[in-house]
Amino acid sequence: MKRSQADSNTTAASRPGIQRSLMSRLVLGCVLMAGLATSVGCFVPIYSSRPERRVQQLLYTSEDLRSLVDEWERFWFLDSPSHMTPIRTHGGVL
């Protein structure tokens, strides 16, 4: 059977609506996944429920974050000593 002109127009007109619906579902799904991925600590406990173990884990975490700054400065060569002197010299031998 051949399609009539009216049938081909309705399917062509409904296609952008279907694509828009699929795209909106995809975007909504991505937003929900990002929201769940960033709130893992609320649903799944990150630290132990025992106070002694939790303190140890928090100390390890804070030490890791503190050493991250040192690693960042070392990577960008910010930890090197400065060769510029605060006192201006004339450049000759004194």
Q: Express each pLDDT in 66-82 by its tens digit.
A: 888 888 888 888 877 66
Q: Give the E-state strand segments of the chain in sequence order.
A: none
How many other C-beta atoms are found inside a 10 Å radius of the C-beta of residue 54? 14
Judge whether 57 and 48 are in contact, CB under 8 Å. yes
Kindly report the number of other CB atoms within 10 A of residue 58's CB atom.
Answer: 13
Cα-only R_g, the chain: 31
Does residue 93 carry a pLDDT above 80? no
Give the pLDDT confidence of 2-58 residue by residue, as tens digits: 555 555 555 555 677 888 889 999 999 999 888 877 765 666 778 888 999 999 999
pLDDT at residue 56, rounded to an integer: 93
Query: Length of the chain, please?
Result: 94
